[in-house]
Amino acid sequence: MTSVSEKYHPDKLLKSSPYKGESKRIIAIGASTGGVDAIAKILRQLPRNLPPIIITQHIPDGFSTSFANRLNINSELDVFEVRQRMPLRDSCVYLAPGGLHMLLDRQGNNYYARPQDGIRISRHCPSVDVMFRSLNNVAGKAALAIIMTGMGDDGSIGIKELYDNGAYTIAQDEASCVVFGMPKQAIAKGAIYDIVGLDSIHKKIIAYANGELKRNH
């Protein structure tokens, strides 16, 4: 067993290999404390015909299935828990299972998600850092990455890699976070292009899907 107090870098599980080419749009959301309700609120406000959305929420094994089911019932999108390798499709959401990391692959121009057993990275399994790094390895600048309410700093390494590779990165603002730890650490790292309140995140996702969200630098 690894000690929860030990902090492992994403390198322990997945090498950084940033994707530099053109690719299809894909959206990733990472959250911890307060994230269950915040994510549910965002998904309720989203229409169909969006690029695939992948989500890592810190959640214990046994709770992620009911969370995925709840999101599926209460949104227009089709929500799946990633318990096996799955192709990522438009109008669909893919949730990391409790106790497993979620990694991405690509074949041609298509994305796939799969569960991955492993040690806690940045003190968590599933880890937002692992998802964001994996996203950068397959999509790079084509991605939209959003880091939301949560304690600690999981996600700040991976989202900085995405930012440095040209991806559009968003942090939830302090006023709308239950705990501002994860967004705060990402902002401090210089990993964030835009800071947005919870009530406006869905608008950014829609704008991105429509090709209207562009980085100026």
Q: Which residues are part of the catalytic machinery?
A: 32, 58, 154
Query: 72-106 burial string, b = 16+ CB within 10 Å, else e?
Result: beebebebbbbeeebebeeebbbbbbbbbbbbbeb
* Distance, CA of 146 to chain centre: 6
Alpha carbon distance 115, 101 (integer Å) = 6
Strand partners for 54:
28, 94
Per the CB < 8 A criterion, the answer to whether 131 and 97 are in contact is no
* Distance, CA of 63 to chain centre: 18
CB atoms < 10 A from the CB of 23, how many? 16
CB atoms < 10 A from the CB of 129, how many? 29
Structure tokens given for 30: 């990472």
What are the φ and ψ backbone dihedral angles of 76, each rounded to 5 degrees?
-75, -20
